[in-house]
Amino acid sequence: MLQLATFLGGIAFAAGAAIELRQAAAVQVAKISSVENVAVRSNGQILATNMNSPNLYAVDPVTKTSSTAISVTGASGLSGIGEIAPDVFAVIGGGKSIYKVDFTGAKPTSSLIKTISAANNLNGLAIFDNTTILVADAGKGNVYRFNVVTGESSVVLSDPTMAPSGSIPFGIDGIKYSNGTVWYTNIFKNSFHKIPVDATGKATGAVTTLWTNLMGDDLCFGPNGKLYVATNSKNSIVEVDPAVGKANAVATVTGSTSCAFGRTEKDKNVIYVGGGQGVYSATIAV
C-alpha cells in the first residue's frame, strides 16, 4: 500500500523494533511512480503494478528500462499479482476484481476472471495451488479463496489480526502461502502473522504473531527459504527466518511496498523491490 509512505512517514518505530542494517541502499533499476507490487517473469522481466493506473509495467533489469506491457481493460488500478501458470498472471484490479494477464501469445492479453462483489478492498495476493489464489481484503479484514478457472470465491480466513484500523480503513495487506502456512501483514497494526491452513485454505490452528512493532507491507520468499518483508514508510526490506521470526534489515528502499526474487541464473539471489520512485534491486547473501 504505497500511499502510507506519505501518510506515515513521520511515525517512529515502537519500542523494541530497532533492526540491524546489514547492507547499503538498493540500486534503482527503473523509475516508475508509485509501484505497488512486483512479480518476475521466467524470462527475467519484472512486472510492476500501480494502484492508480491500469497499466502493467515491464522492467528489464539488464538494460534498466521500463515500458507498459499492457493496459488492463476495465481496471482503474492494479495491486497484487502472481503467476498462476507459466507466463500467465492473476492481478487484482480496482479493489474487487481479479484479472488474467497472458504473456504466452505474440502479444500480451488481459481478461476479467470475475469481480468479487462482496469484497471491500482487495490488495495482497498469494498463489495457493494450480487453480487457486488467496486474496487479502484489507477493507474487511479477511481472506478469499479464489478459483482462477471458474471464478468461484469464498471467505476462508478471518481473524482480529486481519482487521482494518487507523485513519485509512486498511488491515491485512501482504499475504503469501507456503507448505500449509499463510503468512500475512497488517500494515496499520505494525504486525506480522502466520496461520496453519488445510487443503481448502481454512485454518487448522491459531494465529501466531511474529511482531507487533514494525510496519509490514507486502512480502516474498527467497531462494534460501527465508521471508522478506517490505516496511513501507520505514524504508527497508527486512529478512525473516521463519523458524525464528526476528527481522533483520538487508536493504534500504524509500517507501518499499513489495518484493520478488530474480528467476535467472544471474539474478536468483537478487531481490527486486517496488517503491515510491520505482523498482530497485539488492543482492542478498544466502
* Residue 70, number of CB atoms within 10 A of its CB: 18
Domain 4-283 belongs in CATH node 1.20.58.60: no
The per-residue pLDDT for 17 is: 42
Helices (H), 45-190: none
**Domain residue spans of the chain:** 4-283
pLDDT at 7 over 60: no
The per-residue pLDDT for 63 is: 97
The per-residue pLDDT for 24 is: 59
The per-residue pLDDT for 1 is: 63
pLDDT at 4 over 60: no
The per-residue pLDDT for 244 is: 84
Cell of 267: 539474478
- What b/e string do you get for 35-56 counting C-beta neighbours within 10 Å, with b at 16 or more? bbbbbbbeebbbbbbbbebbbb
The per-residue pLDDT for 25 is: 75
Average pLDDT over residues 56-66: 97
Please give the model's pTM, rounded to 2 decimal places. 0.92
Integer Cα distance of 196 and 54 in angstroms: 34
Tens digits of residue pLDDT in 121-140: 999 999 999 999 999 999 99
Integer Cα distance of 116 and 151 in angstroms: 9
Average pLDDT over residues 258-265: 97
Tens digits of residue pLDDT in 224-240: 999 999 999 999 999 99
The per-residue pLDDT for 285 is: 83
- Phi, psi for residue 269 in degrees, rounded to 5: -105, 15
The per-residue pLDDT for 166 is: 81
Mean pLDDT for the chain? 92
The per-residue pLDDT for 168 is: 86
Tens digits of residue pLDDT in 65-106: 999 999 999 999 999 999 999 999 999 999 999 999 999 999
Residue at grid coordinates 481484503: 137
Tens digits of residue pLDDT in 204-226: 999 999 999 999 999 999 999 99
State which H helix or E strand residue 4 sits in: helix 4-7
Contact yes or no for 271/259 (Cβ under 8 A): yes
Going from the C-alpha of 41 to that of each of 44, 163, 167, 233, the distances in angstroms are 5, 32, 36, 27
What is the amino acid identity at position 24? A
pLDDT at 146 over 50: yes
Average pLDDT over residues 152-176: 95
